[in-house]
Chain A
Amino acid sequence: MHTRLRLELIIERMAAPRACNIIEDAGLTGYTVLPALSGFGGVTRWSRDSDMSASSDMVVVISIGTNAQVQSALQELERLLASHIGVLSVGEVGVLRSDRF
């Protein structure tokens, strides 16, 4: 197994394309976007079925890459999160095929 960093960003759906642009520009080789069902943050509960516009839906963006790639993405993602609702975490993971990440 090879060690890489796994970036997990829970962010509002409308801002997800912006996050994906940043991830691509940082040289990360791929990402996956998953829908989030419901949650609670600050003083507000949210759920996918309470917003007809789906504009306040949340998604999870997951990407895996090298330390340099993830650090490069983090700077811009921090700027993005200054404007948009979201939670970012990074952790070490083991990957089988290092040439892919």
Chain B
Amino acid sequence: MDIAVATLLSPIVLFFLLGLAAALLKSQMTIPEAFAKGLAIYLMMSIGLKGGVAISKGGLGWDAGLVMLSAVTLSFLLPVIAYSLLRLTTRLSEVDAAATSAHYGSISIVTFVAAGHAIGAAGLDSSGYLVAVAALMEVPAIISALIIAHRQRQAAEAIAGSDRGELIREVLLNASVVVLLGSLLIGWVSGETGMKAIAPFFVDPFQGVLCLFLLDMGLSAGRGLRNGWRQLGVGTIAFGVYMPLVSAALAASVAWLNAMAPGDAALLITLAASASYIAVPAAMRLALPKAKPSIYLTLSLGITFPFNLILGLPLYIWLARAVSTGTV
């Protein structure tokens, strides 16, 4: 309960709620688009560097490798479950269900960053390699959803003007993957000594920048909800809330099987429970253009992201503690 209250009253959640309320009330407040993109890159660089430095201190063991393998498998599996649930419980078409399922197998890096903040506040530590796990979980869900769409014959057939490498470039070289893995590698190579030199820029202002970014996220989520809520039925909205819980339960099992520490388990559970709204939507516009972006974007950004940020994080920390100490 204390963690729930602390999370809800943390500046990052309150700034998110401020942005959400402002957008829903049709405030004209905006954060310039290019500035918001710069903030996103800053946050990814910062967590990548911190993760790399942590790995340079402790190294990577077999246990980390096993967690990475489990996380990739989970990311492949989650879209299959999400697709089945969407087809069973909603009226979404096959292509909309396939595109939406990709979002729920992939991850939200901002939810991951917020989880890092929340587990720190809860007195838990996490390992640096979880940043690599986050980057690795971006892509498999996209492949999995495309396989589902192909099986349902809903994938794009040679779209006019398309070139062969565009989807692969978008999936494997999107900003999240390049910046996260690149910064992780730079942090790993340069180590603690290198980090000291850039810490005044990448460490000290991090929480303030995160507040600014969450304010923008609130504005985006609110505007997305305002513009797209008519596209969502009750079953689809419910999916945006229960699917993170299904994913969290599966990730908790993975954490238990790998005997993960509570902080690491909380981050893995959060990654599985989060839904992408940056890397996957772009890939889906190229690969499954007939899927409606107003459905999957509104659901992942307008429903699941606020749910995870406000209610999910304390729950995932509790779940992580429970599976790590064996009380569940």
Task: Give the total of B residues in contact with A, Cβ under 8 Å.
Answer: 37
A74 to chain B minimum Cβ distance, whole angstroms, is 11
Question: A18-B162, A47-B227 are known contacts. Are A52 and B277 too (CB-CB below 8 A)?
Answer: yes
The reply to whether B281 and A49 form a contact with Cβ atoms under 8 Å apart is no
One digit per residue, 1 when the CB lies within 8 angstroms of any chain A CB and 0 when it does not, for chain B 4-39 equals 000000000000000000000000001001001000
Q: Measured between alpha carbons, how far is A9 from B301 in the docked complex, in Å?
A: 29
B18 shortest CB reach to chain A, Å: 16
CA distance A15 to B161 in the complex (A): 9
Query: What are 26 sample pairs from A and B whose C-beta atoms fall under 8 A apart?
Result: A14-B286, A15-B161, A15-B286, A15-B289, A17-B166, A22-B161, A25-B161, A44-B230, A45-B226, A46-B227, A46-B294, A49-B33, A49-B220, A50-B220, A50-B224, A52-B217, A52-B277, A54-B33, A54-B282, A55-B284, A56-B294, A56-B297, A76-B160, A79-B159, A79-B160, A83-B159
Please tell me if B147 contacts chain A, counting CB pairs below 8 Å: no
- CB < 8 Å: which of B33, B159, B277 contacts A48? B33
Contact pick for B278, options A15, A52, A85, CB 8 Å? A52
Contact of B223 among A43, A50, A54 (CB under 8 A): A50
Q: Could you say which of B219, B277, B289 contacts A84, with CB atoms under 8 Å apart?
A: B289
A95 beta carbon closer than 8 Å to chain B: no
| Additional A-B contact list (12), CB under 8 Å, known A44-B292, A49-B220 | A12-B285, A15-B161, A15-B285, A22-B161, A44-B227, A49-B219, A50-B226, A53-B278, A77-B160, A83-B159, A83-B289, A85-B289
* Separation of A35 and B292 alpha carbons in the complex (Å): 21
Within the complex, the shortest CB–CB distance from A65 to chain B, in Å, comes to: 16
**A53/B279 contact (C-beta < 8 A), A44-B294, A83-B289 known:** yes
Flag whether B156 is at the interface (Cβ < 8 A): yes
| B33 and A56 within 8 A (CB) | no
Given the complex of chains A and B, what is the CA–CA distance between A14 and B231 in angstroms?
Answer: 22
Bound complex: CA A20 to CA B161 (Å): 8
Q: Which of B170-226 contact A (CB under 8 A)?
A: 217, 219-220, 223-224, 226
